[in-house]
Structures are given as structure tokens and as C-alpha cells.
Amino acid sequence: MAPEQHRTPGSGAGAAPDQPAAATLDGFELVYRGKVRDLYAGPDALVLFVASDRLSAYDFVLPTLIPDKGRILTELSLWWFSQLADIVPHHVVSLDVPAAVAGRAMLCERLQMYPVECVARGYLAGSGLVDYRRTGRVCGNELPAGLVDGSRLPEPIFTPATKAPLGEHDENVDITAVAATVGAEVAQQLRRLTLAVYARAESVARDRGVLVADTKLELGRRADGCTVLADEVLTPDSSRFWPADQWEPGHPQPSFDKQYVRDWLTSPASGWDRASGQPPPPLPDDVVERTRARYVQAYEQLTGRTFR
């Protein structure tokens, strides 16, 4: 995954100035810093993906870390890659990584990434809900009248988005816009794979008491033209996970992700004005602990494993 092909232009060294310094790793060159991941060029044309404990909200990288978050995201992604291998190959080559990032890093293939966020939705929430309330559609998909926050859709839909630079919003688009960027045949392939991955994930998670409301995938292409699942997959950072036994359409759902942080940031307790343009304040210890607990619960409930 060549750095200039991965996500955003530039070296990434200044992508998020408030982030802690990235690890210096012998034999690896830091080439990109995302909101929560660091990307290093490594030997043998491989790329090292490192999941940090950083957390982003409202297009800001927060000044407070969530302990073990990087390990949870990595271990959950690896579990999902194995669940999905018969649908689409993944980019992980090895877990033989430097000791400084062991447990939260993967050595991966270098791919040409498709310049589109591949999103599948099975429930109405987030930006999809905003679009529906305004137009009755989401990314060109016509939906029935009368749906509410948290409604299950008649069938899952493909709702792609542009890839915006760090700190800016991705923009929902329809498949025609994707086809204009990558070609009609590739656009249909991305749609088919995204919906197939969602269908498998939704079924697996539902059996474990978790609803996958929506999820975002990153897909790339090998030199031979094969499409490959990359980056992370089906984690609380890239998906909305809801407890199935608490699902109740008509209002925001409880979730296994950073929604707890978002709620605190927009509450009077934080003292932060989202419209001010100023970065959010540090998170208090109880918010950190409860957010970590949600990530751990998502991992354990989905995989059936105990996080240690």
C-alpha cells in the first residue's frame, strides 16, 4: 500500500500535530499518520500498520488516549479477516512486527487503494439518517417513508463516501459518482463485495447479540487486479455496533463504540463548544474507563474470547 496511494497526500508527519510522537522503528520509515493509525514503509515492499490508542471525535484527534484500544482494534480486525476470507482476501502478511508495537501492528501487502469509502448500512443512523430526513434517500437509494432513528432497512444498502483529507468530512455519494472515479465495473464489484461482507458480519454478530448498524471498508487492488480487504475491518472505530437486546427504533441506540465520548463532549460537563473551532478538552478518567470497557465488551462478545 504505497503511502501516496493509501489515503492522504504528504508524509503525514504533520497530519495531527496534537498526537503523541510516533514510535521510531528500526528498518521502518514513518510515512503517514492518520487519526488513529500510523503507517510505516518496511522491507520487502511491505507496509506496517500500527493501531494506536488515540481516539478521534468530531474531526479532532483527542488529547487523551484509551488504554489498549490499539490492541483491541488489531485483534478484532484479525478475527474478522479470518471470518471473511472466503468472501474477499485480506492484506495481512505477517504479525512478526517490532517489539515496540507488538499486539497492535500488522505487516501487510502494498496495494493500490480505491479512492472511496465503501460503506454498507443495514439500519438508519448517523449521516444516513440526516440524508434520509432531508431527501428520503441515502446515496441514491430510495427508502420507504416513515423510517426513524435506528430503523432496520428493508435490505442493506451500499452508501459510499469520498475520502476527505484528515480533519475534513467524508461526503456521501452515489454509485454513479464512484463509477466516474473507478469505472462502472469496479464500482459494481466494490458494491457487491461491501454488501457481501456486511451480510456475513451482520449474521455472525447477530448470533452473538450484536447488531451491525453500518460499517466502512477499505478495499485495494493487487498488481494482478485482485481486490483485497485492507486496513481495519468491523471494529468499533469503523462500525456502529448496537446491543441487540436493547435495540429500540425511534431514538439513538446504546453502542459499543466512542459514542459515549461524543455524548460527554457535547454535554455541559465538558465545557466544550463544538461550534467554537477549538479542540476538545482532555477526557476525565471515568469517561476513559467506560470507553475502554465498551471496546473490550465488543471484542469479547463478538469473538467469544477474553481480552487480556
Confidence of residue 166 (pLDDT cuts 50, 70, 90): low
Written as nine digits, the cell of 86 is: 472466503
Residue 305 DSSP symbol: -
Which domains occur in the chain, in start order? Answer: 3-111 (3.30.200.20), 113-246 (3.30.470.20)
Percent of the chain with pLDDT over 90: 85
Q: Which pTM value belongs to this model?
A: 0.90
Q: Where are the alpha helices (DSSP H) in 85-142?
A: 126-135
Cα–Cα dist 175/280, whole Å: 35
Dihedral of the CA atoms 67, 210, 246, 60 (nearest 10)?
A: 40
| Weakest-pLDDT range from 10-19, 190-199, 293-302 | 10-19
Q: Decide if 128 contacts 250 (C-beta within 8 A).
A: no
What are the two backbone dihedrals, phi and then psi, of residue 142, each rounded to the nearest 5 degrees?
-75, 130
In this structure, is the dihedral angle defined by the CA atoms of residues 68, 261, 295 and 167, taken in order, positive or negative? negative
Mean pLDDT of 14-19: 42
Q: Decide if 232 contacts 77 (C-beta within 8 A).
A: yes
Q: Decide if 111 contacts 147 (C-beta within 8 A).
A: no
- State residue 168's pLDDT score: 58
Cα–Cα dist 127/249, whole Å: 16
Cα–Cα dist 23/287, whole Å: 26
Cα–Cα dist 38/160, whole Å: 24
Of 116, 117, 104, nearest to 48 by C-alpha is 104
Cα–Cα dist 291/165, whole Å: 26
Cα–Cα dist 110/74, whole Å: 18
Tell me the range of 9-23, 54-68, 158-172 where mean pLDDT is highest.
Answer: 54-68
pLDDT tens per residue, range 124-152: 999 999 999 999 999 999 999 999 999 99
Confidence of residue 235 (pLDDT cuts 50, 70, 90): very high
Cα–Cα dist 122/253, whole Å: 14
Q: Decide if 193 contacts 199 (C-beta within 8 A).
A: no
Confidence of residue 170 (pLDDT cuts 50, 70, 90): confident
> How far is CA 206 from its chain centroid?
19
